[in-house]
Amino acid sequence: MDHILNTNEIPAYEQFHISGSSSLFLTCDHASLRIPERLENLGLPLIDRSTHIGWDIGAFDVARVLSDRLDAPLVASRYSRLVIDCNRPPQGKGSIPDTIHGLQIPGNNSLSNIQIAQRIEEIFNPYHKTIDDALATHITIKRNVVLLSIHSYTPELDGKFRPWPIGITYETPSPFSSYLIKELKKSKLHPIGENEPYPITPEGDYGMYAHGKKNAIDAVLMEIRQDFLQNPKSKLYIVELLSDILEKFDKINSKR
């Protein structure tokens, strides 16, 4: 079987502060727009694959700063969601999209079972195994570990404006989700989305179930609107705000 990742290409994931002192554990499923050379950009020009369809714009920047500030473990995907979406169940709907918002993805059309298996084995599985292993170790060392997955989303979809600067989504309310919503509502960011712009579902939020629910820990997915992350001033405000809120939570959480 040919490999989609050549020997000169980077691994499917990168990790930071894996032995960090924080009770938080961070993931970033759509951190990169990189596509393996062998896939020839999936037949898409850069102008298309660098939009929100290819990655979560600005999400990795936020996750990286939070990891550094909090000394929190972070595992981030290093390939585009167009190759395989690391936040969708493999072979499920949207895992390897052939069309997104009416745009055809030529390199994803009529894939064989072998081609699909290659992407799962070389990108999806290594990324999630790294999270599994690092999170398991973190849980044995730290008390009350919580999982926070950092995402971003487009301000408008299908002609509808999405008003939430930040959305906090979860399957069931928890001390972590409630704390985040309460603290964010004190900020100048309004309105705060509660299970907006997307609710948590098994079909669309693989990591929340595979790593959060499976380990019986609080798991929250944070969505940040991309226009706030593309503006340097608002991006700095959000990073500083989240750093303060999460640092405060970490101190409270470690004493429980």
Sign for the pseudo-dihedral over CA of 214, 220, 225, 231: negative
Q: CA 134 to CA 244: how far, in whole Å?
A: 25
pLDDT digits (tens, 9 = 90+) for 4-18: 998 889 999 999 999
Helix (H) or strand (E) holding 254: helix 232-254
Alpha helices in 104-172 (DSSP H): 113-119, 125-141
Strand segments, DSSP code E, in the chain are: 13-16, 24-28, 74-77, 99-100, 103-104, 146-153, 156-157, 160-161, 166-169, 192-194, 218-225
pLDDT digits (tens, 9 = 90+) for 40-92: 999 999 999 999 999 999 999 999 999 999 999 999 999 999 999 999 999 88
Domains defined for the chain, CATH in brackets: 13-254 (3.40.630.40)
3 state DSSP class of 108: helix
- Quote the pLDDT of residue 63: 98
Mean pLDDT for 33-37 is 97
Mean pLDDT for 183-201 is 95
- Quote the pLDDT of residue 1: 57
- Quote the pLDDT of residue 143: 86
